[in-house]
Amino acid sequence: MNSVQQIRKKPSDKTPPRRPARLWRACDARITVRQTGIAEKACQSCIVRQLAESGAIAGARHQLLSAQVRRTHYAPRKNLFLQGMPAASVQIVTSGVVRVSRTLLDGQRQVLGFALPGDLLDASLSATHDFSADAVDQVLICQIPREVFASLAETEPWLVRRLNDVLIEKLRCAEQQMAVLGHKSAIERVACFLSNLHQRWAKVDARQKAFSMPMSQADIADFLGLTIETVNRMLAQLVRDRVIARAGSTVTVMDAARLGVLART
Amino acid sequence: MNSVQQIRKKPSDKTPPRRPARLWRACDARITVRQTGIAEKACQSCIVRQLAESGAIAGARHQLLSAQVRRTHYAPRKNLFLQGMPAASVQIVTSGVVRVSRTLLDGQRQVLGFALPGDLLDASLSATHDFSADAVDQVLICQIPREVFASLAETEPWLVRRLNDVLIEKLRCAEQQMAVLGHKSAIERVACFLSNLHQRWAKVDARQKAFSMPMSQADIADFLGLTIETVNRMLAQLVRDRVIARAGSTVTVMDAARLGVLART
DNA sequence: CGTTGGGTTGATCGACCTCAATAAAAGTGG
DNA sequence: CCACTTTTATTGAGGTCGATCAACCCAACG
């Protein structure tokens, strides 16, 4: 009657061997709040840029938000917040990868996705988080206290509208993932995942050819609705077929066309 | 290498044998625009109630929106709008069931969900629809022209914030569906679907014990990531086990507890 | 140097897909 | 209203993909 579903005890990740903090030093945490001028230059993908990119007016708006931003650093495997915790602030990933997951009623863990630099965590303005977030590797977070954001939203209606757009984008992502989970085979799912990661990292840094995949195969399995073994086998097959190459947690796409075909994207 | 995925030619639905328009007559279409007083009383789940339910202030806000609402009726199997069409208005289902679907790049159809009375279609304010919507049975839609909504949003910031909440709710739904598609067996998926429909119809009309399931099994299959045959077999099994009973397109939950256990909800 | 948490690989099994065929509706034109 | 077609629902038999079970390797770490 039922099948599937072994409960994996520890949702822990591995510490990536390489990733010498190039990306996350680009937006270093050791910036005090008043140094908005520096922050504006340094922070490539902070909450401000994310929320304010609605045109030329960005400059003034940028400063408005910058003054309120706090930055926090998390070590690999550290928890940012737990499902059910009171939500204290609006947060955006500045560097590193964050795993977003949820514990289902039957105790099983569902990985909702992975937040990359520039991605908004917890767009809701509700009282408590309805999912957990954990740092996969070295992570830097930009955050605005909830009250500050709320009062800002009062005087700056564009903020809420911008938030709307972000939410719609997130919804589109979720729907795409529904398609992956509902209609695709194992190899297609893994190919989709890689292709998606590839594209998203390209947005963060278009120059890089390789990208970082620091999450464990267990995380990927839970995200794709597969088992660890299957994920492993599919990755191995893609390497064997010269579609991708792996070196530690770094992945290089060797044959983007093939990958696209496999992903059916 | 690949599996699944036969392309079903016509995404057509069946006309339900019963459903003598009880529900949808409650909010009849033949109301002219000016009769806001009547509309306010008649329309149980119109766009106004949906968007304005943020407290006691609803009355004034209600009238504000009511004056701009148009109502449209669609016959079973009729298309409301197609993926890619310019989005002309904000729409809410007032009665009936609407199938929301998307055509994937490889031509295969993905059913994103089914909108019931009170559900918002197309929350995005983007220029074009990024999915298609079709009437499954007799459907009544409340809609506000996009420009009217936009200008209203200018002066009424609460509108955008309310829209935000709706979006977050939609996002939560999508994530739940991700869990269904990624982690559940066939019988669990069907049980989830039934349980979900049951609860949502209960919100529309708490008195009704049975509920309407007018969509075809092909639609359900595409929504749940299963084949028609499997959906059929699971439904048959649930009927055999006295968990549900079916009469035409009407479903009665006989054993809600069992259904809940099967759905693992 | 044992332990622990990934990662990797093989063998087996079963849930669900696929193919096939029939029945039951629903729509259509006379 | 009745042939007729088309669509949808239903049921059976067989094949396959991916889960399950079971090793084993490897690196990190106390």
Q: Look up tokens 């699971």; give the residue.
A: B234
Which nucleotide comes closest to B188 if you measure CA to C1'? C15
Euclidean distance between CA atoms A254 and A108, whole angstroms: 35
Which nucleotide comes closest to B6 if you measure CA to C1'? C18
More confident residue, A224 or A150: A224
Residue A231 has pLDDT above 60, yes or no: yes
| Least confident among A152-161, A235-244, B40-49, B161-170 | B40-49
Euclidean distance between CA atoms A34 and B66, whole angstroms: 48
Is the Cβ–Cβ distance between B192 and B148 less than 8 Å? no
Question: What is residue B2's predicted lDDT score, i.e. its pLDDT?
Answer: 37
- Assess whether A228 (CB) lies less than 7 A from strand C: yes
- CA B185 / C1′ D15 distance in Å: 20
Q: Give A-chain residues touching B171 at CB under 8 angstroms.
A: 123, 167, 170-171, 174
Which nucleotide comes closest to A5 if you measure CA to C1'? D19
Residues in chain B: 265
Euclidean distance between CA atoms B51 and B167, whole angstroms: 12
Pick the residue of A105, A178, A192, A224 with the most B CBs within 10 A to test the interface with B by mutation.
A178
Amino acid sitting at position B226: L
Residues near chain D (nucleic strand), Cβ < 7 A?
A 3-6, 15, 17, 185-187, 225-227, 229-230; B 3, 10, 12-14, 216-218, 228-229, 232-233, 235-236, 246
Amino acid sitting at position A177: Q
Is the Cβ–Cβ distance between A168 and A71 less than 8 Å? no
Question: What is residue B65's predicted lDDT score, i.e. its pLDDT?
Answer: 65
Q: How confident is the model at residue B83 (pLDDT cuts 50, 70, 90)?
A: very high
pLDDT in tens, B175-232: 999 999 999 999 999 999 999 999 999 988 888 889 999 999 999 999 999 999 999 9
| Least confident among A232-236, A242-246, A260-264, B174-178 | A260-264
Q: How far is CA A57 from the centre of its chain?
A: 27
Euclidean distance between CA atoms B251 and B204, whole angstroms: 16
Q: How far is CA A201 from the centre of its chain?
A: 10
Closest by Cα among B219, B249, B254, B224 to B238: B254
- Closest chain A CA to residue B1: A187
Euclidean distance between CA atoms A150 and B217, whole angstroms: 45
Q: How confident is the model at residue B253 (pLDDT cuts 50, 70, 90)?
A: very high
Report CB contact under 8 Å: B172, A104.
no
Residue B52 has pLDDT above 90, yes or no: no
- CA A182 / C1′ C22 distance in Å: 29
Q: Which of A5, A124, A179 comes nearest B183 by C-beta? A: A5
Question: What is residue A219's predicted lDDT score, i.e. its pLDDT?
Answer: 97
Q: How far is CA B52 from the centre of its chain?
A: 19
Structure token pair of residue A56: 């030329």
Q: Which of A2, A167, A264 comes nearest B167 by C-beta? A: A167
Q: Which residues contact B88 (CB under 8 A, 6 or more apart)?
A: B145, B146
Question: What is residue A49's predicted lDDT score, i.e. its pLDDT?
Answer: 59
Beta-ladder partners of A247? A250
Residue A113 has pLDDT above 80, yes or no: yes
Q: Give A-chain residues touching B164 at CB under 8 angstroms.
A: 125, 160, 163-164, 167
Closest by Cα among B84, B86, B166, B158 to B121: B166
Is the Cβ–Cβ distance between A97 and A215 less than 8 Å? yes
List the strands of the sheet with A89-95, edge to edge: A70-74, A139-145, A89-95, A120-121
pLDDT in tens, A52-80: 554 444 556 666 666 777 889 999 999 99
- The sign of the CA dihedral B222, B224, B225, B228 is negative
Q: How far is CA B254 from the centre of its chain?
A: 24
Nearest CA-CA distance, residue A122 and chain B, Å? 10
Closest by Cα among B245, B244, B251 to B213: B251
Q: What is the pTM of this model?
A: 0.82
Residue B144 has pLDDT above 70, yes or no: yes
Residue B94 has pLDDT above 90, yes or no: no
Q: Which of A2, A105, A130 comes nearest B185 by C-beta? A: A2
Percent share of chain A, pLDDT over 90: 48
Q: Give A-chain residues touching B170 at CB under 8 angstroms.
A: 171
